[in-house]
């Protein structure tokens, strides 16, 4: 809960990061101009599936300005015919490890955009020109374009394993007898299309191998720099202490950026070979072709209820199109979309099977609310459909089935391989739903439900969601008093634009009772701390912030001890005044009067249990009968995030996430043709929301039920905005078009798709 | 394309004299030759607007303009919006309204908004949305950006 004595936490606080960004002085990776830098261009496969017969670089190597070209065969030779692979970072299992991506293609290509060769030249233009002089001979194989053809094994991506199935997960709870003698059941099939984060800054790296000091610096790291350092150390056979991963400013993460990609090996590798700094900046087409895709899941689902409308069971089969390889975060979508099927609802019996299929498309990974966005769509659609079947008001139906306050902690389905148990920690889901309806003005808007006004059908919908956050197992921090008597805070969290510096400063200033200006937060290098775990799964504030809090407390005790030594008294007799001024009897000592050598504390906050923020969202849309265009007339989202550190950034996260979700629902679509060529090559094809598309989004953040799992009481806040968007929009559109008997079962809801629904029945 | 052309232009009130390749983009010239990296490149095909700069008063995509076309022009980038190191009122409004998260689109948003308000200090909410809809932002959902620009109108009247 907000403590009224808090000076910084919970207060409107402008961001510290903004000053540099607004001046145009922040350094992004392409802003680096190291001396003697060479430029890399990656030659990528234009064929989705094939056997590499020959890659001839001899004439390309002769071109002016070309320093080197490395192919898969070259790298295979150097690594004793075993090309290094990208490890699976989250929940790795042997099944999926079979399909890890080699850092460069050497015998086969499996998706359009897969690296075949890397060219290093004295300018990007020359590197690119030289890549066009490389002769590539690939014998095409039949492509696997979707999970269905993947399951038929007509063509096998990795023939040695004889199957395109990566693995099969099971999420279970209670028991499933045939329909549990249900009064009512309904079966449906739903589909979410392939789309992804598309950060405004593309990926990029500058690697600098210093031969003299045997040090590798890699600029452009983010999200999980310590993990990537370990990957690089292993693949390049370098000790960790010789590698420094440096975070510069980052133009958006949303899950996809900062994972270990082929280039995260190739660029440092080339720098080490050539002993010069090498810059690589992904272009937009490469970004669309090769940076993790996400979201493509099909679902067969069955929901059973008793006569009163209480849900008895949920059964579903999920088909996840994982693309060509199992990359670092391949497991997140299939696991989350299975385990979180029930969302915030009390469903005693659950049986979900989630199958990972390999196809000749870009590999998948986490994208903001991975698996959660998808399964929320499936579930919330089912709830509206089943409520209608039973003649129960959709709000009453949700109220009846939401997990109740006194059921907390509430167990979710347990997932296997590796086994993971999850429970909802705390909260009052019903009051938040009621608040949502009130703020949205539901009763008034409900009068428009299904009505046609001026050629547009109106629809409203409401949905409920949970947001997991705070992935373990721990986070680290170090706080020290610097030579000027100010405070340096080192964190293991990464800043991807979400305001980590401001939030950490607020937390440290609050605990230490110093001005925010007396604190400087450092997150930009793997040299600051022994280890760090990064920013994903809405964990930076919860885990990183708690680590800062724990270490700040320890520093205060240490300061008292040092002052006590000075005064030859007991530390318990020393009190701390604002500004970390030590006081003993009538004497005081300022921070810069204390011996500095002991005033550096490292620590960590361990926690293996996830927090669950929760909330509700409601929306009002109209659908144009002539064009199929959906207009968003109002959107309200409310979420209890446990404790609000910075109201400004918390709301910013919520609204930004909603709009990103709306892009996914209405605009964004990574379409492959029948040869598995990506037909979306630029931002003119991959449409994203603009300033005039969704001008009315309202968000409210609550802190009614702080988490008991961390000393801040914080829960995740970066993903809740996006989670309910698809279910909500699909329900609102279906409700708008109820007079036509239209049910939305597939995304995206582009004008063509909605028009198609209205004109094929 | 190895022939270079000498050009002179004003960049943020400073005289610039550079040799550029005939096919060099203005964005690359500003960022890599002049090393003023506040201008960002998000797509290199005019779709995202991050590279927007002000050329003789108009907002222009610097990735769609050749450097030599700027010969004799006055170019203002994000670095040129502050005065004596102090953020302009428009920039301060961005801070106040939390109109940036990662900040990558911000150079283009600021230059576009500055050009708009310089020409149309009474721009309506709808007009601001319309003009800013040429610039992509992936973080904020735009609402705070539009609010910031709307409130900044006061300082252009």
Q: Which of B40, B48, B95 sits opposite A14 (nearest CB)?
A: B95
User: With an 8 Å Cβ cutoff, are A251 and B43 in contact?
Assistant: no
Stated pTM of the model: 0.97
> Which residue range forms the structural domain that includes residue B103?
89-156
Q: Where a domain ends, among B52, B80, B108? A: B80
Where residue A391 sits, what CATH number does that domain have?
3.30.365.10
pLDDT tens digits, B47-104: 999 999 999 999 999 999 999 999 999 999 999 999 999 999 999 999 999 999 999 9
Closest chain A C-alpha to B147 CA, distance in angstroms: 11
- Percent with pLDDT over 90 in chain B: 98
Q: Is B137 part of the contact surface with chain A (CB cutoff 8 Å)? A: yes
Within a domain: A349 = yes
Nearest residue to A258 (alpha-carbon basis) of A282, A239, A274: A282
Task: Note which residues in 491-550 of chain A have CB less than 8 A from chain B.
Answer: 496-499
User: With an 8 Å Cβ cutoff, are B138 and A649 in contact?
Assistant: no
- Above 80 in pLDDT, residue A596? yes
Alpha-carbon distance of B108 to A292, in angstroms, equals: 26
User: With an 8 Å Cβ cutoff, are A656 and B45 in contact?
Assistant: no
Please indicate, yes or no, whether residues A433 and A482 belong to a single structural domain of this protein.
no
Please indicate, yes or no, whether residues B19 and B66 belong to a single structural domain of this protein.
yes
Alpha-carbon distance of A76 to A71, in angstroms, equals: 9
Please indicate, yes or no, whether residues B45 and B94 belong to a single structural domain of this protein.
no
How many Cβ atoms from other residues are within 10 Å of residue A515's Cβ? 15
Please indicate, yes or no, whether residues A338 and A322 belong to a single structural domain of this protein.
yes
Please indicate, yes or no, whether residues A370 and A489 belong to a single structural domain of this protein.
no
Give the residue-averaged pLDDT of A284-309: 97
User: With an 8 Å Cβ cutoff, are B36 and A24 in contact?
Assistant: yes
Within a domain: A599 = yes
Which residues of chain A have a CB within 8 Å of the CB of B128?
691
Which residues of chain B have a CB within 8 Å of the CB of A284?
42-45
Please indicate, yes or no, whether residues B95 and B50 belong to a single structural domain of this protein.
no
Q: Where a domain ends, among A591, A606, A621? A: A606
Please indicate, yes or no, whether residues A486 and A562 belong to a single structural domain of this protein.
yes
User: With an 8 Å Cβ cutoff, are B141 and A689 in contact?
Assistant: yes
Query: What pLDDT band is residue B1 in, cutting at 50, 70 and 90?
Result: low
pLDDT tens digits, A341-376: 999 999 999 999 999 999 999 999 999 999 999 999
Closest chain A C-alpha to B83 CA, distance in angstroms: 10
Which residues of chain B have a CB within 8 Å of the CB of A697?
141, 143
Alpha-carbon distance of B82 to A39, in angstroms, equals: 33
What ranges make up the beta strands (E) of A90-129? 108-109, 115-121
pLDDT tens digits, A224-268: 999 999 999 999 999 999 999 999 999 999 999 999 999 999 999
> Which residue range forms the structural domain that includes residue A739?
297-470+610-760
Distances (CA, A) of A321 to A48, A164, A331, B98: 15, 11, 12, 37
DSSP string of A724-749, one letter each residue? THHHHHHHHHHHHTGGGT----BS--
Q: Which residue of B has its CA nearest to A688?
A: B136
The answer to whether the beta carbons of residues B54 and B111 sit under 8 Å apart is yes
Tokens of B130: 């319309």
Q: What is the DSSP letter of B47?
A: S
Query: What pLDDT band is residue A1 in, cutting at 50, 70 and 90?
Result: very low
Q: Which residue of A has its CA nearest to B103?
A: A21
User: With an 8 Å Cβ cutoff, are A691 and B145 in contact?
Assistant: yes
Which residues of chain A have a CB within 8 Å of the CB of B110?
22
- Above 80 in pLDDT, residue A707? yes
pLDDT at A154: 87
Number of domains forming the structure of chain B: 2
Where residue A96 sits, what CATH number does that domain have?
3.90.1170.50
Task: Note which residues in 270-309 of chain A have CB less than 8 A from chain B.
Answer: 283-284
Alpha-carbon distance of A90 to A536, in angstroms, equals: 11
Q: Is A18 part of the contact surface with chain B (CB cutoff 8 Å)? A: yes
Please indicate, yes or no, whether residues A636 and A684 belong to a single structural domain of this protein.
yes
The answer to whether the beta carbons of residues A545 and A498 sit under 8 Å apart is no
Which residues of chain A have a CB within 8 Å of the CB of B104?
28, 199-201, 251-252, 497
HSE value, Cβ hemisphere, 13 Å, CA-based, for A507: 33
Tokens of A425: 């920690």
Q: Is B111 part of the contact surface with chain A (CB cutoff 8 Å)? A: no
Within a domain: A445 = yes
User: With an 8 Å Cβ cutoff, are A695 and B143 in contact?
Assistant: yes
Question: Helix, strand or coil for residue A50?
Answer: strand
A-interface mutation test, from B34, B138, B146, most A Cβ less than 10 A away: B138
The answer to whether the beta carbons of residues B63 and B51 sit under 8 Å apart is yes
Closest chain A C-alpha to B8 CA, distance in angstroms: 23
Q: Which of B103, B128, B145 sits opposite A26 (nearest CB)?
A: B103
pLDDT at A99: 98
Which residues of chain B have a CB within 8 Å of the CB of A695?
129, 142-143, 146
Alpha-carbon distance of A66 to A123, in angstroms, equals: 9
Please indicate, yes or no, whether residues B63 and B14 belong to a single structural domain of this protein.
yes
Which residues of chain A have a CB within 8 Å of the CB of B138?
197-200, 252, 254, 656, 660, 688
pLDDT at A2: 47
The answer to whether the beta carbons of residues A644 and A703 sit under 8 Å apart is yes
Please indicate, yes or no, whether residues B76 and B101 belong to a single structural domain of this protein.
no
Where residue B117 sits, what CATH number does that domain have?
1.10.150.120
Closest chain B C-alpha to A94 CA, distance in angstroms: 36
pLDDT at A180: 66
Question: Helix, strand or coil for residue A133?
Answer: coil
Please indicate, yes or no, whether residues B11 and B76 belong to a single structural domain of this protein.
yes
Q: Where a domain ends, among A268, A290, A312? A: A290
Q: Which of A22, A197, A200 sits opposite B105 (nearest CB)?
A: A200
Give the residue-averaged pLDDT of B18-23: 95
Please indicate, yes or no, whether residues A555 and A692 belong to a single structural domain of this protein.
no
- Above 90 in pLDDT, residue B2? no
Which residues of chain A have a CB within 8 Å of the CB of B133?
690-693
Please indicate, yes or no, whether residues A285 and A303 belong to a single structural domain of this protein.
no
Q: Which of A125, A652, A682 sits opposite B101 (nearest CB)?
A: A652
pLDDT tens digits, A502-561: 999 999 999 999 999 999 999 989 999 999 998 888 899 999 999 999 999 999 999 999
Number of domains forming the structure of chain A: 3
Within a domain: A320 = yes
Q: Is A447 part of the contact surface with chain B (CB cutoff 8 Å)? A: no
3-state SS of A596-656 is: HHHCEEEEEEECCCCEEEEEEEEEEEEEECCCCCEEEEEEEEEEECCCCCCHHHHHHHHHH
pLDDT at A248: 96
Please indicate, yes or no, whether residues A466 and A476 belong to a single structural domain of this protein.
no
Please indicate, yes or no, whether residues B42 and B67 belong to a single structural domain of this protein.
yes
A-interface mutation test, from B25, B52, B101, B134, most A Cβ less than 10 A away: B101
CA quadruple A435, A440, A444, A448: dihedral, nearest 10: -130
Q: Is A35 part of the contact surface with chain B (CB cutoff 8 Å)? A: no
Closest chain A C-alpha to B14 CA, distance in angstroms: 16
User: With an 8 Å Cβ cutoff, are B141 and A655 in contact?
Assistant: yes
User: With an 8 Å Cβ cutoff, are A689 and B142 in contact?
Assistant: yes
Q: Is B22 part of the contact surface with chain A (CB cutoff 8 Å)? A: no
Nearest residue to A146 (alpha-carbon basis) of A292, A289, A358, A290: A358
Q: What is the DSSP letter of A510?
A: H
Q: Where a domain ends, among B50, B80, B110? A: B80
Closest chain B C-alpha to A18 CA, distance in angstroms: 6
pLDDT tens digits, A617-647: 999 999 999 999 999 999 999 999 999 999 9
Closest chain A C-alpha to B117 CA, distance in angstroms: 16
Which residues of chain A have a CB within 8 Å of the CB of B30?
none
User: With an 8 Å Cβ cutoff, are A24 and B102 in contact?
Assistant: no
Tokens of A405: 């306050």
Alpha-carbon distance of A159 to A163, in angstroms, equals: 7
Please indicate, yes or no, whether residues A397 and A425 belong to a single structural domain of this protein.
yes
User: With an 8 Å Cβ cutoff, are A688 and B136 in contact?
Assistant: yes
Distances (CA, A) of A167 to A92, A96, A103, A244, A592: 11, 6, 22, 35, 58
pLDDT tens digits, A408-421: 999 999 999 999 99
Alpha-carbon distance of A10 to A714, in angstroms, equals: 11
Closest chain B C-alpha to A249 CA, distance in angstroms: 8
User: With an 8 Å Cβ cutoff, are A655 and B140 in contact?
Assistant: yes
- Percent with pLDDT over 70 in chain A: 99
Give the residue-averaged pLDDT of B117-130: 98
ipTM of this model? 0.98
């Amino acid at each position: 809960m907000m403590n009224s004595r808090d000076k910084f936490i919970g207060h409107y606080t402008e961001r510290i990061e903004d000053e540099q960004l607004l001046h145009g002085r922040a350094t992004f990776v392409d802003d680096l101009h190291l001396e003697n830098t060479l430029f890399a261009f990656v030659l990528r496969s234009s064929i989705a599936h094939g056997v590499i017969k020959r890659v001839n670089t001899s004439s390309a190597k002769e071109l002016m300005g070309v320093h080197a070209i490395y192919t898969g065969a070259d790298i295979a030779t150097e690594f004793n015919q075993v090309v290094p692979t990208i490890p699976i970072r989250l929940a790795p299992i042997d099944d999926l490890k079979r399909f890890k991506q080699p850092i460069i293609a050497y015998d086969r290509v499996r998706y359009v955009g897969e690296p075949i060769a890397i060219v290093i030249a004295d300018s990007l233009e020359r590197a690119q020109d030289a890549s066009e002089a490389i002769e590539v001979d690939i014998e095409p194989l039949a492509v696997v374009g979707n999970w269905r053809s993947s399951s038929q094994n007509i063509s096998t991506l990795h023939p040695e394993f004889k199957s395109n199935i990566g693995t099969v997960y099971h999420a279970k709870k209670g028991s499933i007898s045939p329909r549990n003698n249900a009064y009512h059941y309904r079966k449906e099939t739903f589909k979410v299309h392939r789309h992804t984060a598309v950060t405004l800054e593309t990926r990029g790296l500058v690697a600098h191998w210093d031969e003299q000091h045997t040090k590798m610096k890699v600029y452009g790291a983010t999200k999980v720099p310590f993990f990537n350092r370990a990957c690089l150390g292993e693949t390049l056979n370098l000790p960790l202490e010789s590698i420094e991963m440096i975070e510069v400013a980052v133009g958006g993460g949303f899950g996809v950026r900062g994972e270990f990609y082929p280039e995260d090996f190739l660029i440092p590798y080339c720098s080490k070979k050539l002993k010069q700094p090498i810059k690589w900046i992904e272009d937009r087409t490469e970004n669309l072709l090769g940076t993790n895709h996400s979201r493509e899941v099909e679902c067969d689902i069955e929901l059973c209820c008793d006569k009163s409308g209480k849900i008895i069971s949920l059964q579903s089969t999920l088909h996840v199109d994982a693309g060509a390889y199992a990359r670092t975060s391949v497991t997140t979508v299939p696991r989350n979309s299975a385990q979180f099927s029930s969302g915030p609802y009390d469903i005693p019996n659950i049986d979900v099977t989630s199958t990972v299929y390999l196809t000749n498309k870009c590999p998948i990974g986490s994208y903001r609310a991975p698996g959660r966005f998808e399964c929320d769509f499936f579930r919330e659609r089912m709830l509206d459909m089943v409520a209608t079947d039973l003649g129960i008001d959709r709000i009453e139906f949700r109220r009846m089935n939401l997990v109740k306050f006194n059921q907390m902690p509430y167990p979710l389905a347990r997932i296997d391989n590796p086994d993971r148990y999850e429970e909802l920690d705390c909260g009052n889901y019903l009051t938040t739903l009621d608040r949502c309806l009130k703020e949205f003005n539901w009763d008034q808007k409900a009068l428009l439900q299904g009505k046609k006004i001026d050629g547009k059908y109106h629809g409203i919908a409401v949905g409920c969601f949970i947001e997991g956050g705070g992935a373990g197992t721990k986070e680290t921090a170090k706080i020290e008093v610097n030579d000027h008597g100010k405070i340096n805070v080192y964190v293991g969290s990464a800043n991807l634009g979400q305001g980590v510096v401001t939030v950490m400063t607020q937390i440290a200033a609050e605990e230490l009772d110093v001005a925010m200006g007396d604190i400087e937060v450092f997150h930009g290098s793997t040299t600051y701390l022994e280890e760090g775990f990064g920013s994903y799964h809405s964990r930076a504030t919860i885990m990183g912030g708690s680590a800062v809090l724990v270490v700040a407390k320890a520093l205060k005790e240490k300061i008292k001890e040092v002052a006590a030594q000075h005064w030859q008294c007991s530390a318990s007799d020393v009190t701390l005044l604002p500004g970390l001024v030590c006081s003993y009897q009538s004497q005081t000592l300022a921070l810069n009067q204390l011996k500095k050598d002991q005033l550096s504390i490292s620590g960590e906050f361990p926690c293996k249990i996830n927090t669950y923020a929760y909330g509700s969202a409601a929306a009002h849309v109209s659908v144009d009968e002539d064009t199929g265009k959906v207009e968003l007339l109002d959107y309200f989202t409310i979420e209890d995030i446990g404790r609000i550190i910075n109201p400004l950034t918390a709301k910013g996260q919520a609204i930004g996430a909603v709009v990103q979700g709306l892009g996914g629902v209405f605009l964004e679509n990574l379409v492959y043709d029948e040869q598995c060529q990506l037909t979306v090559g630029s931002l003119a094809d991959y449409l994203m929301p603009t300033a005039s598309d969704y001008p009315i989004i309202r968000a409210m953040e609550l802190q009614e039920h702080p988490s008991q799992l961390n000393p801040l009481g914080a829960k995740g806040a970066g993903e809740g905005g996006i989670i309910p968007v698809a279910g909500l929009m699909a329900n609102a559109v279906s409700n708008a078009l109820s007079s036509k008997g239209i049910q939305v079962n597939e995304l995206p809801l582009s004008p063509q798709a909605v028009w198609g629904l209205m004109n094929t029945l | 394309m190895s022939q270079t052309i000498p050009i002179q232009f004003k960049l943020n009130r400073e005289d610039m004299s550079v040799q550029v390749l005939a096919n060099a983009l203005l964005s690359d010239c500003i960022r890599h030759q002049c090393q003023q990296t506040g201008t960002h490149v998000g797509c290199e095909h005019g779709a995202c607007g991050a590279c927007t700069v002000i050329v003789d008063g108009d907002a222009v995509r610097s990735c769609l303009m050749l450097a030599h076309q700027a010969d004799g022009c006055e170019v203002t980038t994000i670095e040129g919006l502050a005065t004596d190191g102090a953020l302009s009122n428009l920039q301060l409004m961005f801070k106040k309204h939390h109109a940036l998260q990662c900040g990558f689109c911000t150079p283009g948003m600021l230059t576009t908004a500055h050009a708009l308000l310089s020409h149309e200090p009474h721009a309506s909410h709808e007009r601001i949305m319309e003009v800013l809809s040429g610039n992509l932002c992936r973080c904020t959902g735009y609402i705070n950006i539009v609010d910031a620009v709307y409130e900044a109108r006061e300082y252009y009247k």
